Every structure is written in C-alpha cells, then in structure tokens.
C-alpha cells in the first residue's frame, strides 16, 4: 500500500512537471507572436553616396562574371550590396555630380523600411541625369560636403569618381571653398576605374552612344618635362586619377580607397568614426521562440521515460 502511494505521488509530480513545461512553452510562443519591437541603442550610419555622372564614368574597365561593366554601373552595384550590410536604423541617400555641382537626388531614408525604394531609385541613376559635360571633380567634392552639412550632424559622404577633371587643372591648382574646413564632415572618396587609359564613350542628351571622344574635341593640357619638352595631353582617354583623388581627400579631411571590389563601399559606409548611437526598434521575438522550442524538445525528446 505504501509503495502504491509513493508511485502515485511520483507519477503525479511528473505529470505536473510535463504540464508546466507545456504551459510555459505555450506562453513563450504567445510572447514570440505578440512581442513588439523594443528600442535598443546601437550603432547606425547616415550616408549620402555621390555618384559621378560624367561621361568618363561610362568607360567599361570593370569585369563582372566575365562581362565588361562601366564604372558607374559597378559603383551602383557596390552601393546595392552595401545596403544589405547596414543595420536597421541606418539612413542612406543618393546624390549625383556633374559639371561643378553635387545635387541631392534622394534624401537619406531608413534602410530597412525603405530598402525597396532605395534599390529601385538606384537603378535609375545613370548618365542621362547629367546636366553638363564638364567635370570639375574638386568643386563637386566641396559641394557634397555642403550638402551633408545641410542634412545635419552625423551625415557622412561617400563620393565615387574616377577623378578626371574636364577641363583639366593647371599644375598646382587646388580649388577650395572658404566655408569648408577639413574634417568638418566625415567621408570617403572612392576611386573608380582602372590604371590603363581607355577611350571615353560619347553620348547624346538622351544617353545614346555616339562613338568616342577624340583628342581634338576636348580641352588638352600638355605636360612639360623637366628638360623643357612638351608632351601632348591625353584628356580624351580616362584612367583612375588616384593622386588627384588622394589630394582632394586630404584637403577636405576624407579617407580614400580604390573601388577595387564591391565590399569597399560597405566598409566606407560602416566606417567606425562615423557611427551614430541611436535607439533602434529591434525585434526580439526569436528569443522566446527559441526557449519554447527548447522546452518542447526536452518534453518530447526520444527515449524519455513516460
């Protein structure tokens, strides 16, 4: 009789424990379904990506899956990949550079909420937006700093260009604006293109290709050698002007990197020095769901004595 009583109590306690496990799992699953996002302070980044829209950016000296790709197309793809690497709460906007101005095309918006809009608008950024054929890159960089200042503190700039000035600068020329101080705005200049000079595609106002620019059609700047000889200019050909871009980056307090792979854009956007701490709505539903799964796995594990 005493043995039967002990056995009954044991079975009852086991049944109660099973019931408690099932009830707890049910409550955790309910919490996983109903738990709203919780604001957690974390690093995020606000960035304006400036695309050089001038015709030298149509030179196809990149290769993607065995196919030649233009500098501008490669820069857009790098920006698209970078969007996926940014945490929610970050904001990204697009801008275009041509002639001597940088104009904001899309003000920075939150990357998770507006991811589809960012990607869709990115696909439409091409040379047809160009409003002039000249390419005063130095002035464009300074205008991008002005645009970032107007958007508010914490907005950084990622300026993508091959660095080709048209018309070319005289030796020693360093354009600058009095209202821009080095390091006032955080940012990066990404050098697009290869080292080998290539012909520059020529297009009409509607973006249709009409051949290549010839030496007689552009302003040339002859080079003077130390011995006094003059070497004809090659401004109708384009390669990445890395020394010029590095000098510009130093002048405004930016970093510089060559856009040799798509991850360069992501690293520039997520630069540690430009991070902004802000509360970001974060979904934690996976935590109670995982705990409920663990309880159910323990309750119904194979080989468990009933």
Ordered per-residue pLDDT tens for the chain, 306 residues: 564 554 455 445 555 677 777 777 777 777 777 666 666 678 889 999 999 999 999 999 998 888 999 999 999 999 999 999 999 889 999 999 999 999 999 999 999 999 999 999 999 999 888 888 889 999 999 999 999 999 988 899 999 999 999 888 876 677 777 777 888 899 999 999 999 999 999 887 777 888 898 988 888 887 776 776 777 788 899 999 999 999 999 999 999 999 999 899 999 999 877 887 776 566 667 777 787 787 777 777 776 555
Q: In 3-state terms, what secondary structure has residue 142? A: helix
Instruction: Give the CA angle between residues 141, 143, 145 to the nearest 5°.
Output: 75
pTM here? 0.80
> Residue 157 is part of which domain span?
40-280
Q: Is residue 306 part of a domain?
A: no
Could you give the C-alpha distances from 274 to 43, 45, 104, 184, in angstroms and in order?
9, 7, 20, 12
Q: What share of the chain is helix, strand, coil (3-state, %, to 5)?
A: 40, 25, 35
Return the CATH number at 82. 3.40.50.410
**DSSP state, residue 59:** -
Distance CA 77, CA 65 (A): 13
Indicate if 31 and 50 belong to the same structural domain: no
Of 173, 206, 298, 194, whose CA–CA distance to 240 is shortest? Answer: 194
Answer yes or no: is 53 within a domain. Answer: yes
Question: How much is the CA Rg of the chain, to the nearest whole Å?
Answer: 29
Residues 133, 8: one domain? no
Report helix, strand or coil for 50. strand
Is residue 239, in this structure, part of any structural domain at all?
Answer: yes
Distance CA 192, CA 239 (A): 9
In a domain? residue 289: yes
The domain tally of the chain equals 2
The continuous run of DSSP H or E covering 32 comes out as helix 2-34
Count of positions (residues) in the chain: 306
């Amino acid at each position: 009789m005493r043995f039967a009583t002990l056995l009954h109590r044991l079975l009852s306690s086991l049944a109660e424990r099973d019931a408690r496990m099932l009830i707890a799992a049910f409550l955790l699953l309910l919490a996983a379904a109903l738990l709203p996002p919780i604001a957690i302070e974390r690093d995020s980044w606000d960035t304006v990506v400036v695309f050089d829209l001038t015709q030298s950016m149509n030179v196809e000296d990149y290769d993607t899956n065995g196919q030649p790709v233009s500098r501008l197309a490669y820069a857009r793809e790098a920006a698209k990949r970078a969007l996926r690497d940014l945490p929610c709460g970050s904001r990204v906007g697009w801008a275009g550079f041509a002639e001597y101005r940088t104009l904001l095309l899309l003000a920075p918006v939150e990357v998770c909420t507006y991811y589809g809009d960012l990607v869709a608008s990115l696909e439409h950024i091409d040379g047809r937006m160009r409003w002039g054929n000249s390419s005063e890159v130095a002035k464009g960089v300074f205008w991008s700093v002005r645009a970032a200042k107007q958007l508010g503190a914490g907005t950084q700039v990622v300026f993508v260009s091959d660095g080709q000035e048209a018309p070319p600068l005289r030796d020693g020329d360093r354009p600058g604006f009095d209202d821009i101080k080095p390091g006032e705005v955080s940012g990066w200049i990404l050098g697009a293109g290869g080292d080998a000079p290539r012909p520059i595609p020529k297009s009409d106002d509607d973006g249709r290709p009409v051949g290549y620019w010839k030496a007689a059609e552009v302003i040339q700047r002859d080079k003077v050698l130390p011995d006094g000889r003059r070497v004809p200019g090659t401004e109708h050909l384009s390669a990445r002007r890395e020394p010029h871009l590095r000098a510009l980056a130093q002048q405004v307090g930016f970093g510089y990197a060559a856009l040799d792979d798509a991850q360069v854009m992501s690293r520039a956007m997520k630069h540690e020095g430009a991070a902004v701490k802000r509360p970001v709505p974060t979904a934690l539903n996976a935590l109670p769901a995982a705990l409920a799964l663990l309880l159910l796995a323990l309750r119904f594990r194979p080989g468990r004595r009933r």
